[in-house]
Chains A and B, each alone.
Chain A
Amino acid sequence: MSGVNSQPAATRQNAAAHAPATANAPSGMLPLRFILTGVLALAVGMVWVAARPDVLTTYHYNQYVIALTHLFVLGWLCTVVMGAMYQLVPVALETKLHSERMAKWQFVFQVVGFAGMVWMFWIWDMKQVGHFGSALAVGVGLFVYNLARTLLRVPRWNVVATAVASGLFWLSLTILAGLSIATAKCTYESAETLAATSVLGAMIHGLRSLAMFMARFDQLGAMHAHAHLGVVGFFIMVLVGVSYKLVPMFTLSEVQSKARAACSVALLNLGLAGAGATILLRSPWKPLFALVIIAGLAVYGWELTQILRARKRRPLDWALRYFLTALALLVPVSLMGAVLSWPTLPLNATTGQLENVYGFLGLIGVSSFAILGMLYKIIPFQVWFTTYSQHIGRSRVPALADMYSARWQAAGYWLFAAGLLVTSLATFFSHAAGVRLGGLLLTLSVGTFIVNVAKILHHLVRPRITPLSLKPRPGVPTDTSPAAMSGSSSPKAENAFAV
C-alpha cells in the first residue's frame, strides 16, 4: 500500500526539483505565536490613539509618540512580519527554515525587548531603553541569521529572495542605528572610574565613544533616517518582494516582467542607501533619493498592475482589497515624502503635522492595512494546515474563506478606511476630538479582525470535518479521529461518496 511518503520514482525526481512547499514550512504554531502577539499590540496601540489623541495632534518628537510608534513598529509590524516570514520565506523560496528552535528563542527576545522598550520610552529612561533594545537586537540578530542561512539554501535565486535579503540588511542597519541613537542619549559617568582594560570598562568606553560619534549628527535627522530605513527598508521592501510571489498565487496570474520586478527592488535599494545618508546629514540631496524610492515604488505599481490585469481569478477577495488599498495609499504617502524632503521647507506647525500624517499613513495606512489583508490569508492557512491537512481526501473540509466571516471582514475594511481618513485629516488640523473618533473607528476595525481571528482559531478546537467514508478497510486510515467524528455534517455530505 502506498503512503504519502512512498511515491514512485518519477514523483521523487520531480519532488527533488520542486520540493512540496508545505514540507518546508515550520510548524503552524510558530508563526501564529508571533502573529497573535502582534495583533494584541495593534489593538493596544489603537486604543492608545483613541485614549490619547495628543500623540498625533502634537509634534512627534516626544516620549509618548516615540513609545507608541515603537509599539506599532516593533510590537505589531515587526513581530507579525517576522512570524509571517518564518512561514512565507521557506514556502515561497522552496527551501527549509534553517532553525525553528532559534525562531522560538527569537520570539522571547522580541517580546521582552519591544514590551520593555515601549515601557521605558513612555517613562523616558533611555538607559533601560538601551538594555531592552539590546535584548531585542539579540532577537533580531537570531532572526537575520536564521533567515540568511535559509536564503543560502534557496535553489533558484529570484527577485523575492533579493527583496528578502535586502529587507534583512536594512533591518539590521535600522536596529544598529536605533541602538546608536539610544546610546547617544545616555551618560557614561562610570567611564571615568572604570579601566578600559576590563570587559565592563571596555564596553562602557566603547559606548561613550559611540555616543560622542553620534553627537555629530542632528538628533532629529538620525531619528528620521532610522525610521525610514526600518519602514521602507524592511516593511515596504518585504511587502514588495513577497507580493511578487503571493499576488500571482492568489489571483492565478504570474509576474509579467522579471526585469521590471528586479528594477523596482534595485531602485528601492539605491534610493534607501542615498535617503538614509542624506536624511541623517540633512543634505539638500534628500529629494533626489526620495524620487529614486518613489520611482522604485512606481515601477512596482506598474508591474503589480500588469500582474492584476493578467489574472485569471477575476473577483478580488477582501484580503486582496485590504492589500491593494494599502498599496494605493503609497501614492499620497510618496507625494508627502517628496514634499517633506524638500530642503527649504520651513519647519513650522503645518510641516510638523504633515510629518505626523506622513508617519501615520506610512505605518498604519500602508504597512498595517496591507499586513491585515495578508493576515486574512496567512492565519486561515496556518490553522487550516494544522487542523485539516491530514483530513483532506478522507473528509470534507472547509476552504480558507469558509473559516471566517466575510461580512466582518468587509466591515473591518470600511471601518479601517474611514478611520484612516478621519485620523489623517484630524491629525493635519491638530483636532483632538477628530483623532479620537478616527482612533475609535480603527479600534473597531481591529475588533472585527479579532472576531474573525477568533472564528479562525475556533477551528483548532472544533474542526468542521465531515467524513466521506467510514467503511473500515485494511490499511486505509479511515478518518475516525475524534475531530472527524464530532465534526458537523450537512445532510448533503452524508453518504456523499458512496461508490
Chain B
Amino acid sequence: MNALQLDEAIILNALREVIDPEIGCNIVDLGLIYNVRTAGTKARVTMTLTTPGCPMSESIAHGVQMALLNLEGVEDAEVELVWDPPWHPDMMTEEGRHRVGMTPR
C-alpha cells in the first residue's frame, strides 16, 4: 500500500479494533475520534475520552498509536488527546448507541 491509499476509512477501520474495555465498544463507534489526518507516511489522530478521569486513558491512547503503526504505509503516528469539545453520547454512531443500549436516533 502506498501513502495515497492511506485514507481515513482505512484508519478508522483499524481503530475499530481498539475498544474501551469498560464499555465494550470500539472507540470509533463511541465517537471518541475527532479527526484523522495523514501526510505521507505520517498519521495523526485527534481524539478524546468519555471523561478526563477515565482510568483507561493511557491504555487507549497507546492502543490507538499501536493500531496506526500496525497499518502498512504508516511510519509515524501521533495521538492528540483533547478535551474540547468534551465528549457527548450524541457523538456515538448508531452501532455505538446499540452497543451501550441507547435507543436508535
Contact of A499 among B14, B56, B64 (CB under 8 A): B14
Please name the residue on chain B nearest to A94 by beta carbon. Answer: B53
Contact yes or no, A245 B53, CB < 8 A: yes
Complex Cα spacing A23 to B69, Å: 22
CA distance A401 to B62 in the complex (A): 21
Contact A389 B51 (CB under 8 A): no
A313 to B51 Cα, complex, angstroms: 14
B61 touches A21 (CB 8 A): no
Q: Mark B39-82, 1 if CB is under 8 A from A, else 0.
A: 00000100000111111111111111111111110011111111
Q: Tell yes or no: A107 within 8 A of B by CB.
A: no
Asked, given contacts A8-B80, A10-B80, A381-B22, whether A393 binds B66 with beta carbons under 8 Å apart, the answer is yes
Q: Is A130 in the interface zone, CB < 8 Å from B?
A: no
Complex interface residues of chain B between 22 and 52 (CB less than 8 A to chain A): 22-24, 44, 50-52
- In the complex, are the beta carbons of A4 and B55 less than 8 A apart? no
Residues of B within 8 A of A248 (CB): 51
User: A392 to B19, Cβ gap below 8 A?
Assistant: yes
Encode contact with B along A303-314: 1 for CB under 8 Å, 0 otherwise. Answer: 000000000111
- The segment from A11-19, A196-204, A232-240 that touches chain B is A11-19
8 contacts between A and B (CB under 8 A): A14-B82, A20-B57, A22-B59, A91-B53, A312-B102, A315-B101, A381-B55, A393-B66
Asked if B1 CB lies within 8 Å of chain A CBs, one says: yes
Closest to B17 in A: A468
Residue from the list B80, B102, B103 in contact with A14, Cβ < 8 A: B80
A204 to chain B, nearest CB (A): 48
* Residues in A whose Cβ lies below 8 Å from that of B62: 4, 389-390, 392-393
A14 pairs with B14, CB closer than 8 A = no
Give the complex CA separation of A499 and B50 in angstroms. Answer: 29
The distance from the CB of A381 to the nearest CB of chain B, in whole angstroms, is 6
Dominant SS among interface residues on chain A: loop
Inter-subunit contact B102/A314 (CB<8 Å): yes
User: Are B19 and A25 touching (Cβ within 8 A)?
Assistant: no
Q: Which of A385-420 contact B (CB under 8 A)?
A: 385, 388-390, 392-394, 396-402
Chain A residues closer than 8 Å to B44, beta-carbon distance: 8
Q: Judging by beta carbons under 8 Å apart, are A23 and B58 in contact? A: yes
The answer to whether A313 and B61 touch across the interface, beta carbons within 8 angstroms, is no
Q: A252 contacts the other chain (Cβ, under 8 Å)? A: yes
| Closest CB in chain B relative to A398 CB, distance in Å | 7
Give the residues in chain A near B10, CB-CB below 8 Å: 499
Give the distance to chain B from A154, nearest Cβ to Cβ, in Å: 11
Inter-chain contact A2/B65, CB cutoff 8 Å: yes
For B23, what are the chain A residues with a Cβ–Cβ distance below 8 Å?
A: 252, 313, 399
When distances are taken between beta carbons in the complex, the residues of chain B under 8 Å from A497 are: 14, 17, 70
Given contacts A8-B78, A497-B17, is CB(A392)–CB(B53) below 8 Å? no
B78 surroundings in chain A (CB, below 8 A): 2, 7-8, 11
Q: Chain B nearest CB: distance from A480 CB in Å?
A: 12
Q: State the interface size on chain B (CB cutoff 8 A).
A: 49
Q: How far is the CB of B52 from chain A (nearest CB, A)?
A: 4
B residues less than 8 Å from A220 (CB atoms): none
- B100 on interface, CB distance cutoff 8 Å: yes
Residues of A within 8 A of B21 (CB): 381, 384, 388, 392, 397-400
For A25, give the chain B residue with the smallest CB separation.
B55
Residue-wise, chain A 464-479 has the 8 Å CB interface mask toward B (1 for contact) of 0000110101011110
Beyond the given A248-B51, A475-B75, please list 5 additional residue pairs across the A-B interface where CB-CB is below 8 A: A21-B55, A250-B22, A313-B23, A393-B64, A394-B67
Nearest CB of chain A from residue B100's CB, rounded to whole Å: 4
A22's closest neighbor in chain B, by CB? Answer: B58
Assembled-state Cα–Cα distance A398/B23 (Å): 11
**Interchain CB contact under 8 A, A313 and B55:** no
Asked if B81 contacts A393 (CB within 8 A), the reply is: no
- A11:B70 contact, CB within 8 angstroms: no
Tell me how far the C-beta of B28 lies from the nearest C-beta in chain A, rounded to whole angstroms: 13
Q: Is the CB of B102 within 8 A of A4?
A: no
Task: Output the least CB separation between B51 and chain A (Å).
Answer: 6
Chain A residues lying within 8 Å of B59, measured Cβ to Cβ, are 22, 385, 388-389, 392
Residue B79 contacts which of A11, A312, A476, A478 (CB distance < 8 angstroms)?
Answer: A11
Closest chain-B Cβ to A14's Cβ sits at a distance in Å of: 6
Tell me whether A152 is interfacial, beta carbon within 8 Å. no
A226 to chain B, nearest CB (A): 34
Across the A-B interface, the 9 shortest Cβ-Cβ residue pairs: A393-B66, A393-B63, A392-B63, A312-B89, A22-B58, A399-B24, A389-B59, A393-B67, A20-B58
Of chain A, the residue at the smallest CB distance from B61 is: A20
Q: Which of B54, B57, B60, B72 has most chain A Cβ within 10 Å?
A: B57
**A393 touching B57, Cβ below 8 Å:** no
Note all chain B residues with C-beta closer than 8 A to A397: 19, 21
* Contact A22 B57, beta carbon cutoff 8 Å: yes
Instruction: Give Cα A407 to B55, complex, Å.
Output: 26
Q: Which residue of B lies closest to A312 (CB)?
A: B89
Residue numbers in B under 8 Å from A471 (CB-CB): 72
Q: Are A468 and B83 in touch, CB under 8 angstroms?
A: no
- A125 CB, min distance to chain B CBs, angstroms: 43
Closest residue of chain B to A251 (Cβ to Cβ) is: B100
In contact, A313 and B100 (Cβ under 8 angstroms): yes
Docked Cα-Cα span, A389 to B76, in Å, equals 21
Identify B58's interface contact among A245, A314, A389, CB under 8 A.
Answer: A389
